[in-house]
């Protein structure tokens, strides 16, 4: 049976999960949501997977947009996995609501803890800690795949009442400010004008002017530009200079050029 997995990922955690699920399920297309939006990729498979990170205890804006324009038959089996750094809150409950608007039911929803990538607040965890999370991620895949392959109406990790309430507050305050928050990005003197930041940006939010990146205020805050810059020249506000970057070790910048 055919599966399509649509993913969003800035630093590879969600991409890792998407590929691991696809490999174990077989006969699965893995498509970047940014590309699917651009190319209007239709949902044609019997099984639909959504894999993405938690942002501000909720859905990244691009995931929300993608889901709000989903066209899929109401019988499509839907599953979702969201990766998070510390607390996923009510992210999957929010997803359930959005899918319902499209006539779809989320049959299975899991949260998987992975290294946090929000460098404006913290540096990447130690490699030994990262490895523990990668091992734990690999360990949950077989059970998830069994449930997906059996098209079970399983559990959705909803975040509990407190998580859902806090999610609403944090998300409603934070999410509308994200697109323009890129005014805090700048390239420092280490920038050599290579242009990689513009190429990894999933929403073409960066242009090079006089060999320097300029941000165009339709940012998703995925951190791909900051994390993949080979010279660590991109800073966000005053706190990121010298702070340890995070990228999932299985991927290269080219995997993010969609
Ligand atoms: C803008 C932004 C907001 C985030 N908000 C949360 C959050 O509310 N809770 C959390 O646990 N992790 C949060 N994170 C961390 C990511 O969810 C986590 O590192 C995720 O695995 C990254 O996935 P990716 O590598 O596929 O981009 C946030 C990251 C970013 C960039
Ligand atoms: S990736 Fe880094 S070095 Fe290259 S243009 Fe962007 S900021 Fe400059
Ligand atoms: S500008 Fe940077 S943080 Fe914003 S969407 Fe593009 S790559 Fe992500």
What is the domain-level CATH number for residue 243? 3.30.70.20
26 three-class SS:
coil
Same domain, 202 and 104: no
Instruction: Give, as one character, the DSSP assignment of residue 239.
Output: T
Q: 147 CA distance to ligand 1 centroid (A)?
A: 25
Q: What is the mean pLDDT of residues 200-216?
A: 97
- pTM beyond 0.95: the answer is yes
Same domain, 103 and 162: yes
Same domain, 197 and 249: yes
Spatial CA neighbour of 123 closest among 38, 213, 232? 232
Q: 224 CA distance to ligand 1 centroid (A)?
A: 12
- Give me the phi and psi of 153, to 5 degrees please: -85, 85
pLDDT tens for residues 161-190? 888 888 888 899 999 999 999 999 999 999
Atom of ligand 3 nearest to the CA of 206: 1
pLDDT tens for residues 3-46? 999 999 999 999 999 999 999 999 999 999 999 999 999 999 99
Same domain, 31 and 122: yes
For atom 5 of ligand 1, which residue has the closest CA? 55
Q: 75 CA distance to ligand 1 centroid (A)?
A: 31
To the nearest 10°, the Cα dihedral for 135, 49, 34, 186? -30
pLDDT tens for residues 110-146? 999 999 999 999 999 999 999 999 999 999 999 999 9
Task: Assign residue 75 the CATH number of its domain.
Answer: 3.40.50.360
218 three-class SS:
coil
Percent of the residues in the chain that have a pLDDT greater than 70, as a whole number: 100
Which of 174, 202, 218 terminates a domain? The answer is: 174
Which ligand lies nearest to the CA atom of residue 10 in the structure?
1
Atom of ligand 3 nearest to the CA of 222: 8
Same domain, 135 and 149: yes
Same domain, 234 and 113: no
Same domain, 111 and 26: yes
Its domain, for residue 33, covers 3-174
Instruction: Decide whether any atom of ligand 1 lies within 6 Å of the 112 Cβ.
Output: no
Mutational pocket test of ligand 3: of 37, 60, 187, 201, the residue with most ligand atoms within 8 Å of the beta carbon: 201
Provide the domain count of the chain. 2
Mutational pocket test of ligand 1: of 5, 7, 55, the residue with most ligand atoms within 8 Å of the beta carbon: 55
């Amino acid at each position: 049976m055919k599966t399509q997995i649509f993913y969003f990922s800035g630093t590879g955690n969600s991409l890792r999960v998407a590929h691991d699920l696809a490999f174990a399920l077989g006969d699965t297309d893995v498509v970047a949501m940014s590309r699917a939006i651009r190319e209007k990729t239709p949902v044609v498979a019997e099984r639909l997977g959504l894999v993405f990170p938690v942002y501000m205890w909720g859905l990244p804006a691009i995931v929300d947009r993608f889901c709000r324009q989903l066209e899929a038959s109401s019988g499509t089996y839907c599953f979702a996995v969201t990766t998070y750094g510390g607390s996923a809150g009510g992210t999957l409950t929010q997803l359930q609501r959005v899918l319902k608007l499209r006539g779809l039911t989320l049959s299975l929803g899991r949260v998987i803890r992975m290294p946090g990538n929000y460098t404006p607040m913290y540096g990447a965890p130690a490699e030994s800690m990262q490895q523990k999370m990668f091992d734990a991620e690999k360990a949950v895949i077989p059970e998830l795949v069994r449930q997906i392959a059996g098209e079970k109406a399983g559990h959705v990790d909803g975040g509990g009442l407190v998580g859902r309430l806090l999610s609403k507050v944090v998300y409603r305050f934070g999410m509308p400010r994200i697109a323009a928050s890129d005014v805090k990005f700048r390239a420092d003197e280490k920038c050599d004008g290579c242009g990689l930041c513009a190429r990894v940006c999933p929403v073409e939010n960066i242009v090079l002017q006089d060999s320097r990146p300029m941000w165009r205020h339709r940012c998703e805050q995925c951190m791909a530009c900051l994390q993949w810059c080979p010279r660590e020249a991109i800073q966000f506000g005053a706190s990121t200079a010298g702070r340890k970057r995070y990228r999932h070790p299985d991927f290269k910048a080219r995997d993010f050029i969609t």
